[in-house]
Every structure is written in C-alpha cells, then in structure tokens.
Amino acid sequence: MRITKSANNNIFTHQGLVGMTSLLQHLRTAQYADFIVRINSQEWDGISTRIILRNAQLRAGLAGCILTIEPSKLLQVNIPNNFNFNILKDIKDQLFNFDAINVDDWHLDILDTTILDFLLQPNYNHNNTRLDHDLSERK
C-alpha cells in the first residue's frame, strides 16, 4: 500500500495516541543531544559551537559562564539567527543544568554597566526621566 505525497501525517504525530511522540519532540531531543555532544567535543564542531556561544555571551553582556548562568537571566536575552544560543536557551528553559569544568574560561571582567543591566532597569529615556508618567499631564 502506497501513501501519496499529499497525505496528511497528523495520524503519526497526534498527541492523543498513546505511546507516540510528535515530530517536534523528536527534533528537540535530537537537537539537545547533538548540542551536548558538540559542546563537549574537541573537534571543529565543538570549537565553533563554543566560539558562537562566547560571541553570544559578549553580545548579551553576561559576565558569568553562559552554560551555568541562571535560566532567568538567559531567557531574557534575545539573539536572533544564533542557533546554538537558541538551543541553549531552550535547554535552560527546560531546566537542564550544565557543570562547567573551566568556568574561568567563560568569565568576563565587566567594569561598567552592561546592555542587559541597562535594559533591566525601569523604563528610562536618554534624559533620565521616567516614561511611565501620566500622559494627560503633557497637555
């Protein structure tokens, strides 16, 4: 029996069927496993993954190790088009933890206010006046 290319695949991925997992769950499991293998690899794939994560750490202004940082801090950062960072963010959102062996390699000496610290402050504009005042007073 042949199944046409236009046949729906919702039978195979329906959540109500007992013992079946969705394609998204399979994809996430594969991506998480591949990420963990890459982050621990000493080959080019592991090196490039760590370089990309280090770049994301610098862009986000995270002083601590991006692998062991609290999930609440990491989930506030949005870096589009960075697959490795977004996988790490998804993993942290699922409350997975990492134990970094060389934490000092990931530590950044930040002496001033970072972009993340600035964005987490209450809503201020460039003149340091509050933006959340009543707009009816501006008449």
Region 17-40: mean pLDDT is 81
Block residue for tokens 């201020």: 124
> What's at 54, amino acid-wise?
R
Identify the CA nearest to 38 among candidates 26, 29, 27, 47.
47
114 occurs within a structural domain: no
In a domain, 61, yes or no: yes
In a domain, 128, yes or no: no
Continuous H helices in 78-137:
83-93, 103-106, 115-120
Rounded to whole angstroms, the Cα distance separating 57 from 32 reads 19
The amino acid occupying position 74 is L
Is the pLDDT confidence value at 16 over 80?
no
| Phi, psi (degrees; rounded to nearest 5) at 87 | -65, -45
Q: Report the pLDDT value the prediction gives residue 67, as an integer from 0 to 100.
A: 86
Classify residue 41: in a domain, yes or no.
Answer: yes
State which residues form the domain around 73: 22-109
Q: What is the pLDDT of residues 54-109, one digit of tens each?
A: 899 888 888 888 888 888 888 888 888 999 999 999 999 988 888 766 666 666 66
Tally of structural domains, the chain? 1
Task: Give the C-alpha distances (Å, rounded to integers) separating 114 from 47, 61, 80, 99.
Answer: 26, 5, 19, 25
Interacting residues of 29 by C-beta distance below 8 A, sequence separation 6+: none
